[in-house]
């Protein structure tokens, strides 16, 4: 295992991959591998303001609500996620890896 993959797995183990099953480390490895695959194939992500109004519980009102779209290197939309509230850099990376995992797992890519 190279250092880049090891560091990616550590990042996702700390910041995502909590679902059981399959378990924290399995989820972290899946996200790290999906992120690497998306990079290898030249996938891109676009972030923009979500046009839909926030539909939260009323207790928390985010400063910004975004949509993230994942594209092939040719510009074809693979998958997207809306309603992302106040993402920081770590959460942006997690969302992008989760979208990559979805695209590659369900055959969208």
Strand 77-85 relative to strand 65-71, pairing: antiparallel
Q: Which pLDDT band holds residue 109 (cuts at 50, 70, 90)?
A: low
Q: Where are the domains of the chain?
A: 3-105
For 16-37, the pLDDT digits (tens) are: 967 777 788 999 999 999 999 9
- Comparing 43 with 54, which gets the higher pLDDT? 43
Half-sphere exposure of 32 (CA within 13 A, CB side): 22
Lowest mean pLDDT among 13-17, 19-23, 61-65: 19-23
Q: How many CB atoms lie within 10 A of CB 103?
A: 23
């Amino acid at each position: 295992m190279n250092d880049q993959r090891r560091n990616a797995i550590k990042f996702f183990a700390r910041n995502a991959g909590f679902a059981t099953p399959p378990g924290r480390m399995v989820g972290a490895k899946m996200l790290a591998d999906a992120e690497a695959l998306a990079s290898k194939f030249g996938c891109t992500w676009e972030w923009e303001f979500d046009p839909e109004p926030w539909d939260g519980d009323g207790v928390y009102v985010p400063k910004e609500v975004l949509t993230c779209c994942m594209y092939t290197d040719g510009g074809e939309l693979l998958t997207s996620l809306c309603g992302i509230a106040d993402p920081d850099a770590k959460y942006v990376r997690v969302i992008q890896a989760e979208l990559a995992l979805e695209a590659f797992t369900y055959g969208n890519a």
